[in-house]
Amino acid sequence: MDTRTARRTRRARRALSGPALSRRSALLGLGGVAALGAAGCSSGTAGDEGDGGPTRTIEHKYGTTEISGTPSRVVTVGLTEQDYALALGVAPVGVREWFGGHPGALWPWAAEALGDAETPEVLPVEELNFEQIGSLRPDLILGVNSGLTKKEYTTLSELAPTVAQHADYADYGTPWQDITRMVGTALDEEDKAEALIADIEARFEEIREDNPDFAESTALLASSISGEAWAYAEGPAPGFLAQLGFALPGDAEALFTDENREPKQVALEDLEVLEADALLVGLYGAAEDSVTRRDVFKQLDAAKEGRVLEMPEMSRLNGALSFGSVLSLHYALDELPPRLAALIDGDPGTEPDEVE
C-alpha cells in the first residue's frame, strides 16, 4: 500500500467512525439518548477572577489544566474543536486541517458561524508545527478531539494552557457532548454549552417521535476505501444512526465484540453482512474502484431495492457526519432523516448531496 493510499485509509476510517472506543464510551457517548454528566470539567469555587472570568480546572488524559479569564486567542489542534469554539462564540486564530481543504479548515456550517471574523490560520494535520502554533500567540490550546501524546501536550503547555483529550475515552473518541462541555468550561461558557447540547438532544428526540419506523429498522455505515469494504459499529456516524433509533443489523453486529469495536474490513465474497434496511456508504478513492460498482455489491438486496446512500468523501453530508459536532449535527439532522425514511421505504429519490 503506497503512502497516499495508507493516509486515505487512516483518514477515512477516522472520519466516519473514529477509532475504537471503550464500552463505557459507547454506552455513554454515541448511542445514548440521555444527556451526559459534566465529566472532566469543574469550575473553580475559590473566587479567583482572571480577565473577565473565574479560574476553571479541566481534567483530561494528562492531568488537569487551569484556565483563568476569557481566552480570546484560541488554537485548536484536534480535528473538530473549531466547530465547538465557534458555536460558543469564539473564533479560533489557528485551526488544524483534517480534510476538505476549505478556507480556514472550516466546513460551511463553521464558516457561517465565523461570519465576518478573521479566517483562522490553518495548521497541518500530519504533524504539529509548534513554531507555527507559538507564532499565533495563543492563550488557550484545545486538543480534546485528538490523539495528543504526552510529549506533544507538554510542549504545547509551554506555549499556553492546553486541554488534551478526555481521560475516559480512546484518542479521538470523546463524544460530542463531552467535547462541548470541556470546550464550554475552557471558554467560560458552561451554560451556553449545556444549551447547545439540549437543543441537539431535543432535535434527535423530535425526529425519533416523527419517524417511529426508525426504531423498527436497521442501519449500517460502511465505506469503500480504495476498493476495500469496511463496516463500522461505533463513532460519530454510527452513533448518529443509533441516536435516531436504528439498530445495527445482526450480521454486521456479529463482526464485533464488546471488547473490540474497531472498524472491520469485509471481504468482497462476504458483502452480504452489509445488508441493512438503510445502508450508508462513504466513498474514498477513485470512483471506478468503489465497492458499490462491483457486481457482488449490486446483488445485495439493499442495492437492488434502492436502500443504499452513497456519500462521496468531499460531500457535505459525509463531512457533517464525520465531524459530528454541535454545528455539523444540525446540518446532518436537516438532511439525513428524510433520506433515511426514503431508504427504508426503498425509494431513495432524493437529490444527491452537494459535493464541495
Mean pLDDT of the chain, nearest integer: 86
Give yes or no on whether 3-12+206-344 and 36-189 have one common fold. yes
CA dist., res. 212 & res. 330, Å (int): 20
* Choice among 27-31, 99-103, 322-326 with the minimum mean pLDDT: 27-31
The residue-averaged pLDDT of 66-73 equals 94
28-59 tens-digit pLDDT: 222 222 222 333 444 333 334 445 668 999 99
Residue 40 confidence (pLDDT): 42
Q: How do the domains of the chain map onto residue ranges?
A: 3-12+206-344, 36-189
What integer pLDDT is reported at residue 69 of this predicted model? 92
Domain 36-189 has CATH 3.40.50.1980: yes
pLDDT at position 126: 87
What does the pLDDT look like over 116-129, one tens digit per residue?
Answer: 999 999 999 889 99
CATH topology of domain 3-12+206-344: Rossmann fold (3.40.50)
pTM for the structure as a whole:
0.85
Which tens digit of pLDDT belongs to each residue from 218-250? 999 999 999 999 999 998 999 999 999 999 999
CA dist 220 → 16, 48, 242 (Å): 12, 49, 10
pLDDT per residue over 156-192, tens digit each? 999 999 999 999 998 998 999 999 999 999 999 999 9
Name 263's Cβ contacts closer than 8 Å, sequence gap at least 6: 13, 17, 20, 223, 230, 231, 232, 233
- pLDDT value of position 346: 79
Q: By C-alpha distance, which of 165, 150, 124, 122 is closest to 18? A: 165
For 68, the grid coordinates are: 483563568
Confidence of residue 259 (pLDDT cuts 50, 70, 90): confident
Query: What is the structure's pLDDT at 41?
Result: 43
